[in-house]
Chain A
Amino acid sequence: MRGLRAVLVAIALGALIACGTGTVTTSTGQVVPVVTVQIQDSAADVLKLLDDAYKSAVATHDAAALTEDPVVHAKHRAILLATYTGLRSSWDALIAWKAASTGAPPTNVLSSVVTAARDFVPLAVELKAIPQATADTITKYLNAFFPPGGAP
């Protein structure tokens, strides 16, 4: 993902007070407050970002099977498998939230993947699946909800 341009940053900060009102009839047929749908969409954006990085990292990882140190390769595989499990769980949580449309803040959705993501993001950079700027953005987002050192 490309970094956020400075102008967009200014616009985003300027819109700090902006708040969604009204409701949306979602694909599940439920009538949900706009702000809830926006938060769900934002959580999906985060997971999609991680998904894309994960897919790219897996492709690079598999391609390096014959050339990489077996110990390093096994370590990378363990990180990728943990990320795979975490991502699936997070999508499940988000889909469940979508169906229920009550409670379940983004922390519930992301808690399944946050631990794995902390190991995965540096690996994704190492495997050139994502640029450092994207890794920094993901890390900032995760840190905002799950401060380093705290329980996920």
Chain B
Amino acid sequence: MSTTVQVPAGLTAAQVQAIATANPGLILALPMPAGVDAPKDVHRERILGWLDTLEQPVEAGVALILPPPVGLFLSGITKLAIGAWRTKLNGTPAQERWTAAQMAAERDSLPVPKT
């Protein structure tokens, strides 16, 4: 299984190399260009995983810690909020940022030096 991580600008080349060597399968990626979001699909899957993990403990904690009427109310609100978030994330289509056509256009836009 591969993992992608952005190369932090503050690391030296030796540090980056050490990370790559110590972590087979680690994919070192450049920082995202300014104004470009990280792929939503990866974040989406990660957040969905967190929601699955956190939902029950959060609901149970709210219900246990607070007095019954308030606890039950807030637990219900929490459940609704997490459910809405999950629905929204599930509805977000996974997508690629670079299509083959965009790549070809970028390749073909390269100029040859005139002089």
Contacts and interface: CB of A to CB of B under 8 A. Distances in A.
- Dominant SS at the A interface? helix
B96 A45 contact: no
Contacts, number: 188
Interface string B70-94: 0000000000000000000000001
Size band of the interface chain A makes with B? 35 or more
Interface in A1-16: 1-4, 6, 8-9, 12-13, 15-16
B109 A141 contact: no
Contacts of A40: 96, 98
Interface in A90-114: 91-92, 94-95, 98-99, 106
A58 B41 contact: no
B42 A34 contact: yes
B114 A62 contact: yes
Q: Looking at chain B's contact residues, is the secondary structure mostly helix, strand, loop, or mixed?
A: loop
Question: Which of the listed residues A23, A42, A47, A58 has the most CB atoms from chain B within 10 Å of its own CB?
Answer: A42
Interface string A21-52: 11111111000001101111110111111010
Interface magnitude class on chain B: 35 or more
Interface of B: 1-13, 16-17, 19-20, 27-34, 36, 39, 41-42, 45-46, 94-104, 106-107, 109-115
Interface of A: 1-4, 6, 8-9, 12-13, 15-28, 34-35, 37-42, 44-49, 51, 54-55, 58, 61-62, 65, 73, 77, 80-81, 84, 87-88, 91-92, 94-95, 98-99, 106, 133, 136-141, 143-145, 147
